């Protein structure tokens, strides 16, 4: 039990947001008269928000590194759309090659910004504000202000689902999806079991076997329910696979690797980190290069979703990604935040969008609601922190007075 308490205490903020997400889901499920969680809408919801979620993953690392942000990601998305059109249509290169070239371009753009931020020490706000203008300009330069249609592979990546190998074309349930879900659920349980065995080997306290079985059973059901839901719509979209892989990789980097630990340390206190041997400049450079890569992936997904390269693509994405991170519990000064948190924050924004659209609420109102939710989420964070702090200082204050009295 001790263990669960520790985990709960450490992730209070994230659990609060998870609860908020569930409450919002139930609320809109009722308000939309059950449309929100219909399989086809769940499918749509994920497709609609995938690129914001990908951006939010990268943005989380920028924020973690010390409250840096990247305002240029929306423009990078647009730039990558344009470069895709340039490589695959204008130059006529193979689609796969043009995708890889676009990803490389994204990394290059990220490195460019990382250089100015990390080594020249220009505030990230200014560098990426400049980038926002420059990359949008390059997009318009390439596209000459026009919209260009892209090859079909782009569309497949963004909106397509895996073919049903098992069930065949006619079946109402996408059998392959269900099988994949089952396999994933089994792998999850096995990994959890091994982690538990490992902990036992170190003589650490673990939750009781009964608790473990229950926990595993719940997760097993959730994973399978999710894939069955997808199977009832179009099956497993490629984009979910990409998204899941990215989330797993980046959550692993953040939690389990030396690099991840160094990023948290640097955001928590850069001077301490430097004096502990963390190479903060190199890290910051890498974080922005990585942001460029993820923005490029988001760019490819989004242009596939639009089925074209557009001069106005990605407008305002940076703000959605930043908002997702802060709603998901990131600290504006850095050092605090998680990848799953950013994903939860992204989904809260996404469900607000989607739910209100289904209800037919005016776009103006949607913006007002989203803005207020962001403000409230962060206000809640600040409030709960200051409350914790005042408790501590109150304690020492009392102690002080007692000492003074006894001193007399």
Q: Which of 4, 8, 10, 149 binds another protein (CB under 8 A)?
A: 10
Interface pick for another protein out of 256, 363, 375, 383 (rule CB under 8 A): 256
**CB of residue 401 vs another protein: minimum separation in angstroms?**
9
CA distances from 113 to 254, 278, 284 (A): 22, 21, 10
> Which stretch, 216-224, 234-242, 250-258, 356-364, contacts another protein (CB under 8 A)?
250-258
Residue in this structure with the two tokens 């193979």, named with its chain if needed: 94
Q: Is 264 in the site for another protein (CB under 8 A)?
A: yes
Question: Which residues 198-217 are close enough to bind another protein by CB under 8 A?
Answer: 198-199, 201-202, 204
Report if residue 399 touches another protein, rule: CB under 8 A: yes
Both tokens of residue 356?
A: 């209100």
What's the rounded Cα separation, in Å, for the pair 236 and 165? 12
- Interface region with another protein, contact rule CB under 8 A, candidates 168-176, 229-237, 251-259, 364-372: 251-259
Residue keyed to tokens 């090859």: 151
Q: 232: which 2 tokens?
A: 């009832």
Confirm if 311 and 289 have CB atoms less than 8 A apart: no
Q: Which stretch binds another protein (CB under 8 A): 20-28, 61-69, 314-322, 329-337?
A: 329-337
Using alpha carbons, select from 283, 262, 281 the residue that is nearest to residue 273.
Answer: 262
3-state secondary structure of 123: coil
Contact pick of 268, 315, 319, 366 for another protein (by CB under 8 A) = 268
Site residue total, another protein (CB under 8 A): 38
Residue 116 CA to residue 207 CA, distance in Å, equals 48
What gap in Å lies between CA 306 and CA 81, rounded to an integer?
Answer: 10
| H/E element, 161 | none
Residues contacting residue 380 through CB under 8 Å, at least 6 positions apart? 16
Residue placing its CB nearer to another protein in the complex, 10 or 367: 10
Q: How near is the Cβ of 40 to another protein at its closest, in Å? A: 40
Q: Which of 200, 80, 208 is nearest to 150 (CA)?
A: 80
336 binds another protein (CB under 8 A): yes
Regarding beta strands 308-309 and 148-149, do their DSSP bridges make them parallel or antiparallel, or are they unpaired?
antiparallel
What is the closest distance, in whole angstroms, from the C-beta atom of residue 73 to another protein in the complex? 26
Nearer to another protein, 157 or 265 (CB): 265
Helices (H), 32-173: 39-64, 73-85, 95-114, 124-143, 152-159
Q: Does 275 bind another protein (CB under 8 A)?
A: yes
CB nearer another protein, residue 172 or residue 408: 408
Closer residue to another protein, CB minimum distance, 279 or 367: 279
Taking the least distance from each CB to another protein, the nearer of 367 and 400 is: 400
Segment interacting with another protein, rule: CB under 8 A, options 106-114, 181-189, 303-311, 392-400? 392-400
Pairs from 401-407 (Cβ < 8 Å, separation ≥ 24): none
Exposure of 312 by Cβ count < 10 A (0-12 exposed, 13-18 middle, 19+ buried)? middle
Buried b (16+ CB within 10 A) or exposed e, 254-289: beeeeebebbbbbbbebeebeeeebebeebbbbbbb
| Contact set for another protein, span 24-83 (CB under 8 A) | none
State yes or no: residue 9 binds another protein (CB under 8 A). Answer: yes
Q: Which is nearer to another protein, 6 or 91 (CB)?
A: 6
Q: Report in angstroms how near the CB of residue 337 gets to another protein at its nearest.
A: 11
Stretch that binds another protein, among 36-44, 154-162, 277-285, 351-359 (CB under 8 A): 277-285
To the nearest whole angstrom, how small is the minimum distance from the Cβ of residue 11 to another protein?
A: 11
Residues that bind another protein (CB under 8 A): 6, 9-10, 198-199, 201-202, 204, 256-259, 261-262, 264-265, 268-269, 271-279, 331, 335-336, 392, 396, 399-400, 403-404, 407-408
């Amino acid at each position: 039990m001790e263990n669960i308490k520790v985990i709960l205490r450490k992730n209070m903020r994230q659990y609060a947001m998870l609860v908020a997400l569930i409450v919002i889901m139930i609320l809109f499920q009722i308000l939309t008269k059950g449309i929100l969680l219909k399989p086809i809408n769940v499918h749509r919801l994920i497709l609609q928000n995938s690129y914001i979620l990908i951006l939010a993953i990268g943005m989380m690392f920028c924020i973690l590194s010390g409250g840096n942000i990247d305002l240029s990601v929306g423009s990078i998305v647009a730039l990558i759309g344009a470069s895709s059109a340039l490589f695959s249509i204008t130059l006529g290169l193979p689609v796969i090659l043009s995708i890889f070239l676009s990803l490389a371009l994204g990394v290059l753009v990220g490195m460019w910004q990382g250089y100015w931020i990390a080594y020249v020490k220009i505030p990230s706000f200014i560098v990426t504000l400049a980038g926002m203008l420059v990359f949008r300009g390059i997009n318009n330069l390439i596209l000459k202000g026009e919209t260009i249609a892209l090859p079909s592979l782009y569309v497949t990546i963004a909106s397509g689902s895996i073919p049903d190998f098992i069930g065949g074309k006619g079946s109402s349930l996408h059998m392959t999806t269900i099988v994949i879900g089952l396999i994933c659920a089994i792998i999850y349980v096995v990994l959890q079991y091994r982690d538990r065995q490992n902990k036992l080997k170190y003589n650490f306290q673990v939750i009781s076997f009964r608790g473990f079985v229950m926990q595993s059973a719940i997760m097993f059901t959730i994973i399978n329910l999710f894939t069955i839901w997808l199977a009832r719509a179009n099956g497993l979209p490629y984009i979910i696979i990409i998204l899941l892989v990215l989330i797993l990789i980046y959550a692993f980097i953040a939690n389990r690797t030396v690099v991840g630990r160094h990023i948290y340390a640097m955001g928590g206190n850069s001077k301490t980190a430097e004096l502990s041997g963390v190479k903060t400049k190199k890290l910051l450079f890498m974080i922005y290069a990585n942001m460029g890569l993820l923005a490029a992936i988001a760019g490819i997904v989004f242009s596939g979703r639009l089925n074209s390269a557009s001069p106005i693509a990605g407008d305002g994405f940076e703000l959605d990604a930043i908002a997702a991170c802060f709603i998901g519990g990131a600290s504006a000064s850095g050092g605090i935040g998680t990848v799953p948190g950013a994903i939860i924050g992204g989904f809260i924004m996404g469900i607000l969008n989607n739910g209100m659209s289904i209800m037919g609420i005016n776009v103006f109102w949607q913006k007002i609601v989203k803005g207020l939710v962001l403000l409230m989420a962060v206000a809640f964070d600040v409030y709960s922190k200051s409350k914790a702090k005042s408790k501590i200082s109150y304690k020492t204050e009392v102690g002080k007075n007692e000492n003074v009295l006894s001193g007399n």
